[in-house]
Amino acid sequence: MGYRLSKIYTRTGDDGQTGLADGRRVNKSHPRIEAIGALDEFNSQLGLLLADLQEQLKTTPALQIIIDVLAPCQHRVFDLGGELAMPEYQALQAVEIARIEQTIDAWNVQVGSLKDFILPGGSRLIAQTHICRGSARNAERRCQALHSGEALRPEVLAYINRISDLLFVAARLIAQYQGCAEILWQAAEKPL
């Protein structure tokens, strides 16, 4: 495979536009670019989570199962960005959504039913997982905003929705593996 990026800066975006793979130029504030940017931010947060998980393997080897599931997801999120940059490109398949759903179901059995709302925290790793979940939700909103004007494939929308669910359950599983109590939301007291 040859070099994909021979020059990092091109100066072609200095006027507030950027190019899509099909040759079109669009404003950097275009919903498609907003969605690509949100996916890129999410992918970066996911990369940080994977690095943090890797660092914790020495003390908590059970975290490897979470790495094994999330590492391929990072590649699929990159594929989603590719689909948005190249509208004719279709990398994501329904089997990826089914894989996430099966994992959610298995992990959910392991962590048990949720009786209360939980808050992000308990450990840095749990909090970073929730940051990823929030970032995935933001990317989903951006994709839905684009979808309202330019139809996206159902697999794109389902995948980004499902991955935030996966991250929620992953945070609960990390708490279990780390022996951290989940932080339960406490409603404000009602005024007398």
**Superfamily of structural domain 28-181:** Cobalamin adenosyltransferase-like (1.20.1200.10)
* Lowest mean pLDDT, pick from 98-102, 111-115, 144-148, 149-153: 111-115
The domain spans of the chain are: 28-181
Q: Which of 26, 27, 29, 142 is nearest to 81 (CA)?
A: 142
pLDDT at 1 over 50: no
Which runs of E-coded beta strand occur in the chain? 17-19, 25-27, 118-119, 183-184
Helix (H) or strand (E) holding 158: helix 154-178
User: Which residue has 């939301």 as its token pair?
Assistant: 185
Mean pLDDT of 116-127: 93
Mean pLDDT of 129-145: 98
Q: What is the pLDDT of residues 57-104, one digit of tens each?
A: 999 999 999 999 999 999 999 999 999 998 788 889 999 999 999 999
Answering whether pTM is above 0.85, one says yes
% of the chain at pLDDT higher than 70: 88
Helix (H) or strand (E) holding 129: helix 124-149
pLDDT at 5 over 70: no
> 182: which 2 tokens?
């989940």
